[in-house]
């Protein structure tokens, strides 16, 4: 009964992985009618010594750090807010979940309209007169922040959902005991709430970090990597090298492998930390 599943996964994962590992050591273009030419580590050397790529990695790093940390804080805050049930809290929770169910490219496209410095509603709501507010998508310093804001809007609900699950599982006795000991609310938060939610919070952070590292569609809808290369994230650049225009399949495969290694590395560190936390 497991065979069909495994066969499909092998055909679509193991084969592509091995094949792109091979391609990463070659010069090859998917649209040219020529066989791959073995060049050894050349692609990797080119990538790791290219200044451009370091910029894209730095963009990605900044994006991941900013957006995951903001999502964590906001998502956790939302969970604390919606923790105690009241009339309509279920409805509010569900409504807040809508952003994460939307298609990122559609979301990106739509926020583009909201960010417009003249007729967009975003600056207007922030209180700027039309045309005088910040040019979110045209300024190289703000564009990355613009992407971060949208990503935070989309994915804080996800963190919230996991935190709510964690909060719901805390035994009430812990608080009752603390109440008897006259522990302050702050103390209760640091010593009971946070440690108890921590495992799920870390899972949320892990998921979000991996996903944020892969961010592609949101940027394509919002900025397309611009202005200049202010929001050119690694996944976006990978697409550009592999498909649009360049068709440099060998080099793209090498970059893809580097990205893969980084993701595996991050996941491993997290999972190890998570296990320690569980045991300790």
Residue closest to 146 by CA, chosen among 133, 135, 155, 156: 135
Alpha carbon 124 to chain centroid distance?
Answer: 28
Q: How far is the CB of 276 from other proteins (least distance, A)?
A: 18
Give the Å distances, CA to CA, from 37 to 20, 22, 195, 250: 14, 10, 54, 9
Which residue, 143 or 256, is less far from other proteins as judged by CB? 256
Which residue, 146 or 238, is less far from other proteins as judged by CB? 238
Which residue, 199 or 227, is less far from other proteins as judged by CB? 199
Q: How far is the CB of 87 from other proteins (least distance, A)?
A: 8
Q: Which residue has the tokens 């080119």?
A: 46
List of residues 6+ apart from 205 with CB closer than 8 A: 68, 72, 159, 270
The token pair at 151 is 């990503």
Which residue, 41 or 95, is less far from other proteins as judged by CB? 95
Q: How far is the CB of 40 from other proteins (least distance, A)?
A: 19
Q: How far is the CB of 11 from other proteins (least distance, A)?
A: 8
CA dist., res. 42 & res. 222, Å (int)? 34
Which residue, 82 or 144, is less far from other proteins as judged by CB? 82
Q: How far is the CB of 215 from other proteins (least distance, A)?
A: 9
Tell me the residue ranges of DSSP E strands in the chain.
26-27, 37-38
């Amino acid at each position: 009964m497991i065979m069909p599943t495994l066969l499909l996964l092998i055909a679509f994962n193991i084969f592509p992985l091995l094949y792109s590992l091979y391609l990463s050591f070659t010069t090859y273009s998917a649209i040219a009618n020529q066989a791959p030419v073995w060049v050894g580590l050349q692609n990797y050397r080119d990538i790791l010594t290219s200044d451009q790529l370091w910029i894209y990695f730095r963009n990605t790093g900044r994006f991941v750090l900013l957006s995951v940390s903001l999502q964590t804080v906001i998502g956790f805050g939302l969970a604390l807010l919606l923790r105690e049930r009241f009339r309509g809290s279920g409805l509010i929770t569900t409504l807040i979940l809508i952003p994460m169910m939307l298609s990122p490219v559609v979301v990106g496209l739509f926020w583009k309209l909201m960010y417009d410095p003249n007729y967009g509603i975003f600056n207007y709501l922030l209180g700027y007169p039309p045309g005088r507010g910040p040019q979110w998508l045209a300024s190289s310093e703000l564009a990355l922040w613009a992407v971060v804001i949208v990503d935070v809007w989309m994915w804080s609900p996800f963190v919230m959902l996991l935190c709510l699950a964690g909060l719901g599982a805390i035994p009430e006795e812990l608080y009752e005991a603390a109440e008897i000991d006259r522990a302050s609310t702050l103390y209760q938060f640091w010593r009971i709430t946070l440690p108890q939610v921590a495992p799920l919070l870390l899972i949320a952070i892990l998921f979000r970090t991996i996903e944020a590292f892969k961010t592609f569609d949101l940027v394509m809808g919002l900025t397309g990597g611009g202005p200049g290369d202010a929001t050119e994230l690694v996944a976006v650049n990978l697409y550009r090298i592999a498909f649009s225009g360049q068709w440099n399949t060998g080099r793209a495969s090498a970059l893809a492998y580097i990205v893969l290694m980084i993701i595996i590395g991050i996941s491993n560190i997290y999972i190890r930390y998570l296990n320690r936390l569980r045991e300790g």
